[in-house]
Amino acid sequence: MASELYQAISLAKLERHKNLFLNYRNLNHFPLELLKDEGLQYLERLYMKRNSLTTLVNLCYDYHVALLPLAIGSLGKLQSLDLSDNALEFLCPDIGRLKSLRHLRITNNRLKYLPPEIGKLKELQTLDLSTNHLVTLPEKLYLCHSLQYLTVDRNLLRSVPRHLCQLASLNELSMAGNRLASLPLDLGRSRELQYVYVDNNIQLKGLPSFLYNKVIGCSGCGSPVSKHETKLLSFTSGQLSVHLPAEVKAIGSSADSVLPLQELALRSLHAAFSSFLQDLSCMSPISLPRSLLELLQCPLGHCHRCSQSMFTIVYPKLFPLRETPMAGLHQGRTAVSFVAYCCSTQCLQTFDLLS
Ligand SMILES: [Zn+2]
């Protein structure tokens, strides 16, 4: 088997192949032959499905082989990498050096987390991480400006970083079969995002109102969950109750006409500095704690009525899906509500989902 493998790699080098198929090779480590010497700089697509890889560390750094920068450079044209059906537990940070990568598939592995360096993949269009053990996604993923399709079905996701709402090219987001109890307030605010699938997240009861009129999959959501199963802040209206993202610190109601002082201060600061927010250094004279600076750079969300940035408090309003014209599409297979997150009592009173 080993000699067959080396023959395949040698031939690819010799003939300057753009595609290399190393599926079903029973590999349990990344073949260093791929990285040695010249010859694979023309490789654009590498398929290593159905092997027994447990780590990609050799791809990026090998303590015994000091040819690393050169080695990764030799895969600099790689556009597609398929590592599905292996036993990978982690990706090393140097995955971020595959600068030309457009399609990355790592389905059916054992990944528990992704390195933030994945955000360096500026050309990445497709990322498929289905059937792994991911509990969350790195915030830095929002830096993948070209990302159009993100699939994280059948993982252990409990939350989604709100930063991912800034993925301007994202067209389809699929997170079915996870453990999500809430979604970021701004999810769906981007016009580009048209398909959102969150089926079978049984604790998920609220969908941001931005998702109304988009293609959504939400079967099997909204099952009754006893209170002790989640520590998230909840908002209850009549018979309905939804969990809110952990970053929400307070819930306003139509009776609270005055905003908390911290919220007022953050909104004022944000308005004053919003034109400079790309450069955090200009904020340093204010000497805010880092967590507040980060919040200023990426607000909790934006008012669904007027687009005002919000930081700590929201004024939610629930619209049960079963009472909308979309109810027929879902035929009772779900019990979610749309949630409009507003910035004030005034927006709360004037927001209408169907207008
Ligand atoms: Zn508002």
The amino acid sitting at 82 is D
DSSP string over 147-179: --EEE--SS------GGGGG-TT--EEE--SS-
Global confidence as pTM: 0.89
CA 158 – ligand 1 centroid, Å:
28
**What local confidence, expressed as pLDDT, does residue 69 receive?**
40
CA 196 – ligand 1 centroid, Å:
24
From 175, 208, 223, the end of a domain falls on: 223
Report the relative pairing of strands 301-302 and 309-310 from DSSP bridges.
antiparallel
**Same domain, yes or no, for 13 and 152?**
yes
* Terminal Cα distance for the chain, rounded: 65
**What local confidence, expressed as pLDDT, does residue 277 receive?**
57
Contact 201, 176 (CB under 8 A): yes
220 vs 1: which has the higher pLDDT: 220
The Cα–Cα gap between 107 and 151 comes to 9
pLDDT in tens, 84-138: 998 888 888 888 888 999 999 999 999 998 999 999 999 999 999 999 999 999 9
CA distances from 153 to 59, 157, 174, 176, 197 (A): 26, 9, 6, 5, 9
**Same domain, yes or no, for 94 and 170?**
yes
Segment 5-33 mean pLDDT: 84
The CATH number that applies at residue 95 is: 3.80.10.10
CA 156 – ligand 1 centroid, Å:
34
Query: Is position 232 within any domain?
Result: no
Cβ burial of 35 (10 Å; 0-12, 13-18, 19+) is: buried
Helix or strand run (H / E) with residue 7: helix 2-14
CA 334 and chain centroid, separation: 23
Query: Is position 22 within any domain?
Result: yes
CA 169 – ligand 1 centroid, Å:
25
**Same domain, yes or no, for 81 and 150?**
yes
pLDDT at residue 325 greater than cutoff 60? yes
Domain, as residue range, for 29: 2-223
Query: Is position 228 within any domain?
Result: no
Query: Is position 197 within any domain?
Result: yes
**Same domain, yes or no, for 259 and 183?**
no
CA 304 – ligand 1 centroid, Å:
7
**What local confidence, expressed as pLDDT, does residue 62 receive?**
42
**What local confidence, expressed as pLDDT, does residue 229 receive?**
59
Domains identified in the chain, total number: 2
CA 248 – ligand 1 centroid, Å:
16
Name the token pair of 272: 């004053």
**Same domain, yes or no, for 171 and 279?**
no
Cβ burial of 153 (10 Å; 0-12, 13-18, 19+) is: buried
CA 309 – ligand 1 centroid, Å:
8
**Same domain, yes or no, for 190 and 257?**
no
Query: Is position 177 within any domain?
Result: yes
From 183, 204, 223, the end of a domain falls on: 223
**Same domain, yes or no, for 94 and 134?**
yes
The Cα–Cα gap between 88 and 50 comes to 11
Contact 185, 341 (CB under 8 A): yes
**What local confidence, expressed as pLDDT, does residue 65 receive?**
35
Q: If you average pLDDT over every residue of the chain, what do you get?
A: 87
pLDDT at residue 70 greater than cutoff 70? no
